[in-house]
Structures are given as C-alpha cells and as structure tokens.
Chains A and B, each alone.
Chain A
Amino acid sequence: MSPETWYDPTRVGAPLVLLLLFSTVVLLMIRLSRQGRGMFIRRIAGIQAMEEAVGRATELGRKVFYLPGAGSVDDIQTIASLAVLRHVATLTARYGVDFFVPNKDPLAFAAARETVQEAYLQAGRPDLFTGEIVQYVTYDQFAYTASVTGMMVRERPAANFLVGAYHAESLLLAETGQTTGAIQIAGTAEVAQLPFFAVVCDYTLMGEELFAAGAFLSREPAMLGSIKGQDYVKAALMAFIVCGVVLEVFGVHWLHDFMTLGNGH
C-alpha cells in the first residue's frame, strides 16, 4: 500500500521529540563548554589507571596488549575503543614500551593502524612505529581468541586493555590475561559481558563510561560538553520514567501511548 504522507506518522512522535531534545541539549552543552564554562566529570578509576598500567609494563620490560574488540567500525563501541587506543598508543610511544594491537575486524584493523601511527607521530616517536604493532588476526571469533590467548601465554604482557564490543570470548581473553599476571583494564557496553569483566579484570569501564573515556581523556571542551549534555538527557529520561510510572498507577496512559513506537507491541 502506498503511503499517504511524506512522513511516517507512526514514527513522528516520541522518536522525533527525543531526537530533537537530545541533539539540542548536547549541542547547547558543547557550546557552553566551548565558551569556557567548567564541566565537572567525575573520576573514572579505569581511565585513571591507564597510565599506571603502561608504566608498570615499562618497569617490567614487557608488552602492552590492546584488544579493540570484536566489532567493526560501524559499531559505536569500536569508535570509542579507537579513541582510547589513541591515548594508550601515545603513552606507549612516550614510554617506549612494546605495544601490540591484534584485530578481529578488517575495517577496525585499518582504522586502528591509522590511529596508532598517528599517535606515535604526534608523540614524536614515529621511529618506534612498525607494521608489526597493529596486526589483523582473523575474522572468526574463536580463532581470534585462540590466537590472542596463545600470544598472551607466550609473551606474558604486563598490561592488557580489552576495550570495545565483546561477546563470548570476553571471559576467555580476560581469564587468560589474569593467569599471566597482567594488569587488565576492560571496557564494553555489552551488558552480557560486563559481569565477566567486572569479576576478572582490575578495572572495568561499564557501558557509557566507555563512550565517555575518549572524551574524558582528550579534555576537549566539545567532548566534555557532550558528556554533560548526555547526562542531562538521562536526567530528563529518569523524570519521564517516574512520571510514566505515576501516570500508569492512576490509569492515565497518554505518556505510555506517546512513547510507544509505531505498531510495535
């Protein structure tokens, strides 16, 4: 059946309102931040520990492993991981410690190689960058895991960063890293894998902390403003939820109906 209107009436409701609210708040906070308004972001233990982890590897004379996760560059967690990778690569370049970034996804591999190379250049140590630092392993989940865990056991890195989108391989990688005595900093937004990382790793960036990490590390006003904006939107959503619960208790359903997308159940 051909549509009657140029816009989809089942979608022009809560989704559009939330999109506009979100964009407006975030852009406003970015603008305020660029104008010099201070933006307080709480300390995140995992981010603070990154330099400590690289320093430990330098003292022990062992490698730093960075695993950017199983996702491709269309996964926002991988983009977030690349932001953190840049920071860690800068640290390893500065300290002159051996760095290794095995990749599962070919697009992420290409992006990671660019990121690390640029980080080494910015740190003034382009001589330390080689093609061996960032490698593509394989696309298959468990073949990648087998390869990387084997490398962990043989090379015994002092620090492991497991940042990005992970699935069933998360516990295999983290537990193997734990057996080798490495300090481990993990970060993912995959809720099913967070418990494994939280139990096995020394520090875990949970959910939005992963997305905030790159922004937090850069300390750029625009980035800090976006984190602040997202926090205000979260507060607004919490208010929506409380209002919704109260309204539902009293049998008023307009907010529930407004928030229901299209013809979904």
Chain B
Amino acid sequence: MRLESLINLDRRIVYLLIAIGTLLPVLMPIGFRVTTTAPVEAMFEKIESLGPEDVVMISFDYGPTTAPENTPMAEAALRHCFARHVKVVVLALFPIGGITMAGEVLATVAPEFPDLVYGRDYVLLGYKDGAQAAMKQMGVGIANVFPRDNAGTPLEELPLMQKVQTYADVDLVITYATNIIGDYWANLVNAQFGVPVAIGCTAVSAPKFYAFYDSRQIIGLLGGLKGASEYEHLIVSHYPELRPAYSQAGIYNAMRGMDAQTVDHAIIMVFILFGNIVYFLILRRDRRASRRSA
C-alpha cells in the first residue's frame, strides 16, 4: 500500500472506528476507575459545607445538544444537595431547551427523595430571556424577574421563596453552561454581588473556565464528562444510599459515558501516532530518493 494513500486515509475509516469505539463500551461496559481532581473536589466540598438552612441556586444554561455532558453533572449535584437537605432554587436562562432540561433533571432526581416537598425544599422558577438583564435584576429582587414559578404559582405563596428574595439569601450558584452565560455568572453575579459561583461546563469550554477558577472567580469547576464522572464518583463514595441511582442497568451516567470517551481518545491517539509514523516514513523515503539522485 502506498504511503500517500495511508496519510490521506479516507476519513470514513476514521469515522467507522470512532463509531465502533463509542458503541462497544456502551453495549459492554468496561468500568474504568475514576480519580478526582481539585476543581471538582472544591465544588463537592462547598456543597458538603452546606446544610438545611442554606440555599443553592441552580441555573440550567444548556440545551439538548450538550445534555450528555451537562445532565449527569446536574443530576449528581442535585442529588448531593437533596441528600444534605439543602434548599434548591432552579431556573433556566438558556433559550433553546434550558427549561426542558431543568424539568427533566428535577423529574428524574426529585422522586428519589420522597420526603422533600416542592415549594418548601425546592422550587422551579422557569425560564427568563435576556440572561445578563435577568441576572442583574435578581440582585435587586428575584420576584422582579420571576413573579411566578414555572407552574404559575405566585412566589409569595411558596415558603422557600419567602425566605429567598435576592442573591444575599443564596449561598451558592451553580450554572450548567455551554457558552457565554457561564461567563456572565462569574463576571457579573460573583464580581458584583459576591455570591460564590460554581460552573459545570462542556469539555470544550473547560480550558477557558480554568482561568476563572484560578483567579477564584468561581469556587469549583466540572469540566465535561470527566468532571461529571468525578462528581458522581465522589457522591457515590460519600453517600452509599445514592449508589442504586448509578448502578441501574441501561441508565446512562457519566461514569459509563467515560468508558466510551476513553476508548475514543485511545483511537484518536493511535491515529495521531499512525499519521506521524507514515509522515516520517514519507520524509525518509523522499530524503533517500533525493540523495540518490544527487
């Protein structure tokens, strides 16, 4: 086989191997081990420091496109909050599917904690457009932005929202963000109102948010599926009662998703090595040919 045909390999061969590398670990889970990193542990420790008198605001700033990365981290952090009886206020600022994601995650996690009561322990405020404007206004009054919750109930009728009026009543904001909305929470809400912010983001955005983490604009960072798997590992290690949620057969979670991601990374690395080996063989062949002709 000519070296040139190897270096210009039909990209469909690459796609086929990636597809196989994704499918096989899903059908036959491998169970790679998970080691946690500092940004994830920091967010975990923050929620560990909270209790039944504290309030966490969770903003769903992602849509169905990044659900495979963001939903596992959202479910894990919500389970952590509920396990510690931390009060949770949920909202969505992402226009394309944010409220749908919020509803789905709550519908999945809330039934696992039957002693929690909607309105007293957690509230779904709904979706609001104009992310920055909404964030600024909530500093003045959450009811200015969300006069009613997602079901249409006035906020003054919800026991939790009688106590949570502005950011001053919130102990932590967690945003699951795919794009600039995550920046706004850090640059606007943390910088101007002093509320601690943690971000759960896609892997592609994680390099950007490391700068925010380093400068302490955010107190924790869950970067992509790896970050989500680390958080799941932490809550499963510390809360054995939550293990059944992660050991059900056929249910997707980040730890299972990491099997496929690991295999795909390995395939990509093999292709990179292969491409470079062929490249060097071509260079060596051309150098020898030019020496012979000289």
Contact = CB atoms under 8 A, between A and B. Distances in A.
A168 B191 contact: no
Interface string B162-195: 0000000000000000110000000000111110
Interface string B191-211: 111101000001011011000
B105 to A, nearest CB: 21
Contacts of A262: 191-192, 194
Interface string B231-250: 00000000000000000000
B17 interface: no
A87 to B, nearest CB: 27
Contacts of A139: 96
B96 A140 contact: yes
B287 interface: no
A179 B14 CA distance: 14
B217 A261 contact: no
A192 B204 contact: yes
Interface string A221-265: 000000000000000000000000000000000000000011111
Contacts of A264: 190-192, 194, 217
Contact of B208 (A140, A141, A168, A192): A192
B292 interface: no
Nearest to A8: B192
A153 B218 CA distance: 42
A167 B154 CA distance: 36
Given A167-B178, A168-B202, A192-B205, A265 B217 contact: yes
B216 interface: yes
A167 B179 contact: yes
Contacts of B190: 264-265
Main secondary structure of the interface of B (DSSP, over half): loop
B42 to A, nearest CB: 13
A140 B63 CA distance: 11
B290 interface: no
B65 A168 contact: yes
Nearest to A171: B204
Contacts of B66: 168
B194 A168 contact: no
B204 A168 contact: yes
**For the side of the interface on B, what is the size category?**
20 to 34
Interface string A118-145: 0000000000000000000001111000
A265 B11 contact: no
A191 interface: yes
A262 B195 CA distance: 12
B192 A261 contact: yes
A179 B217 CA distance: 41
**For the side of the interface on A, what is the size category?**
10 to 19
Contacts of A179: 11
A264 to B, nearest CB: 4
Contacts of A193: 204
A50 B158 CA distance: 59
A263 B193 CA distance: 7
Contact of B96 (A141, A192, A263): A141
B191 A142 contact: no
B192 A168 contact: no
Nearest to A264: B191
Nearest to A167: B179
A193 B205 CA distance: 9
A88 B179 CA distance: 28
Interface in A130-169: 139-142, 167-168
Contacts of B216: 265
A215 B192 CA distance: 33
Nearest to A260: B191
A191 B207 CA distance: 9
Nearest to B95: A139
B135 to A, nearest CB: 14
A261 B11 CA distance: 50
Contacts of A261: 191-192
What 10 A-B pairs have minimum CB-CB distances, sorted nearest first?
A: A264-B191, A263-B194, A192-B205, A167-B179, A192-B208, A265-B216, A261-B191, A191-B208, A192-B204, A264-B190
Interface of B: 11, 65-66, 96, 178-179, 190-194, 196, 202, 204-205, 207-208, 216-217, 219
Given A167-B179, A264-B217, 17 more contacts: A139-B96, A167-B178, A168-B178, A168-B204, A191-B208, A192-B204, A193-B204, A261-B192, A262-B191, A263-B192, A263-B193, A264-B191, A264-B192, A264-B194, A265-B194, A265-B216, A265-B217
Interface of A: 139-142, 167-168, 179, 191-193, 261-265
12 contacts: A141-B65, A142-B65, A167-B178, A167-B179, A191-B208, A193-B204, A262-B192, A263-B192, A263-B194, A264-B190, A265-B190, A265-B196
